[in-house]
Amino acid sequence: MAGSGGPPATLDGVQPGSDPALSPAPEAALPWTLRAAAGLVSAEALVEAVYVSGRDALTGGLRAALVLCVALKWVTAWRVLRRKPGAALALLLLEGTTVLAALGAVDASAPVRVALAAVALTVMGLLLASLHAFPSAPLPTVHPAEVR
């Protein structure tokens, strides 16, 4: 119905954004594990950025690039709190990379490497425990006549 003044309907007659399964729950319903993961990864990224920026063995450009890479954790933590599934995947990948880097580092002391890997693994566990709070992505339906 053109000109009715209401929001536009899609081809199947459903209002955009009206599917409750796809809309995230209110902020108050964030699981504690998700909040804990975001807080822990933010603190971890701060410590990593301070440590990397203070290393004299690295050139200034490399230090800046590494700090920017670590800053991606802050961005993904912020997006994870808004229940963006892509951010959850990105944070899992960033933390997995942190575990590998911590275990492969040779110039840092063993307790520091173990602590960094433990924090990253804890963030990954908390994030995995929070995946139920993210909206599920709808898959498109494929009709037999369209497959060729």
Within 8 A by CB and 6+ apart from 79, the residues are 86, 87, 90
Alpha-carbon 21 to chain mean position: 20
Per-residue confidence (pLDDT) for residue 148, from 0 to 100 = 62
Over 60: is that where the pLDDT of 25 sits? no
Per-residue confidence (pLDDT) for residue 1, from 0 to 100 = 47
DSSP 22: T
pLDDT, average across residues 27-45: 90
Per-residue confidence (pLDDT) for residue 5, from 0 to 100 = 55
Q: pTM for the full model? A: 0.72
| Band (19; pLDDT cuts 50, 70, 90) | low
pLDDT, average across residues 28-42: 91
Within 8 A by CB and 6+ apart from 110, the residues are none
Q: What are the distances in angstroms from CA 148 to CA 139, 141, 144? A: 19, 15, 8
Over 70: is that where the pLDDT of 79 sits? yes
